[in-house]
Structure 1
Amino acid sequence: MFLQRTAIAAARRAAVSPVVKRSFSTSLVRLTTPPPSGANEGKVKKFQEIKTEEDLLPPGALPGTVPTDLEQATGLERLEILGKMEGVDIFDMKPLDASRKGTLDNPIIVKSFGDEQYAGCTGYPADSHVTIWLTMSRDRPIERCPECGNVLKMEYVGPQDDHHHDHHHGYEEPKTFADFVRPEYR
């Protein structure tokens, strides 16, 4: 009985699948002149040589080749790749200090190039609660986790001549309970 079902199933599959499979064809494109050796060398600037935004434009790939990440990346992505090639972590992607709990007298420092920075607190000891995202700004650099009490402080390391944060256009930030805490209770 089992062999009979297997033979019927094999006959059905054979009737459905075509006898001649579709062929696979390729074409070969050959360069008439090989690229000169070292044609792309010397065009890639080193990390220390980057001074302006124009320095972050790549030389591009040779015609007929697939570009690498270094040959096609521009802007901040290119700066990051050049930095990694030199061993420099330009975005400071290492995790925050989780060996201690931040206090108001000794907070965990979070460096920022922008006017606002988000940091996730997972508690002390690490992973003792779900991630709670805290928002720090240049106007309010200190934030405290409502779950564990860990204190984070934003340290602005961006350009000092940026006057964009001074123009609030009549907007006043709403007050929170932290505005009404007496200094002696901190």
Structure 2
Amino acid sequence: MFLQRSAVAVARRVAVTSSPMLRRSIATTAVRRDAVPDQPKIKTLKEIKTDEDLIGPGAAPGTVPTDIEQATGLERLEILGKMEGVDVFDMRPLDASRRGTLEDPIMVRSAGEEQYAGCTGFPADSHNVLWLTMTRERPVTRCTECGNVYKMEYVGPEHVDHHSHNPHNLEAPKTISDYVKPEYR
């Protein structure tokens, strides 16, 4: 009985290890894994001209998309920039090595109509963060805590063709800078 069971077990092992079906499935799996489907060309940062260029091609059916395949809009623009070594959003901290004055303000680059800057004082971290707002109409602002002066440098398009964010022509809210004499601005 023992000999009969061991003969059956050996026969099963031999049948499994030498099965042509098993060898074929492993070979075709390796070929499928190495096969790369035709991928659409991913545009470079210089080739981006319109909003439609910021839509990813998507993944091939049956695959999981990568970030570059599924990202759209500003996220796609940032990823393409990082691939080429460009910091699209210029995330470097502002110059905190000096005090900004009216004659020599700390410059803040902006591609939008308005920009927020956080002032931590001079020397750095001498007061809590105060958020200052600069606009294209009023590019210079002064921190009420330490007196640092910031100026927005607009680097965006000359004319933006979109609807105004102020549909009823409401007056902008008053800030302390509205009450500063013009000669002190």
Correspondences of 1:31-70 after superposition (within 5 Å): 34=32, 36-37=35-36, 39-40=38-39, 43-70=41-68
Match of 1:100 in 2: 98
**Any idea what the Cα deviations from partners look like across 1:66-88, whole Å, max 9, x if unmatched?**
21111110111111101100001
Question: Tell me, which stretches of 5 or more residues in structure 1 are unaligned?
Answer: 1-29
Name the Cα RMSD after superposition: 2.8
CA distance in 2 between counterparts of 1:62 and 1:174 reads 51
**Structure with greater helix share of residues:** 2
Deviation at 1:179, TM superposition (A): 4.3
CA distance in 2 between counterparts of 1:58 and 1:78 reads 8
CA distance in 2 between counterparts of 1:127 and 1:70 reads 38
**Any idea what the Cα deviations from partners look like across 1:106-157, whole Å, max 9, x if unmatched?**
1111111111111100111111111111111122211111111111111122
The percentage of counterpart residues that share the same residue type is: 66
Correspondences of 1:63-78 after superposition (within 5 Å): 63-78=61-76
TM, length-normalised to structure 2: 0.71
SS state of the match for residue 134, structure 1?
strand
**How many pairs does the alignment contain?**
156
Match of 2:130 in 1: 132
Aligned counterpart in structure 2 of residue 121 of structure 1, from 114, 119, 122: 119
SS state of the match for residue 133, structure 1?
strand
TM, length-normalised to structure 1: 0.71
CA distance in 2 between counterparts of 1:175 and 1:53 reads 35
CA distance in 2 between counterparts of 1:185 and 1:55 reads 46
Question: Tell me, which stretches of 5 or more residues in structure 2 are unaligned?
Answer: 1-27
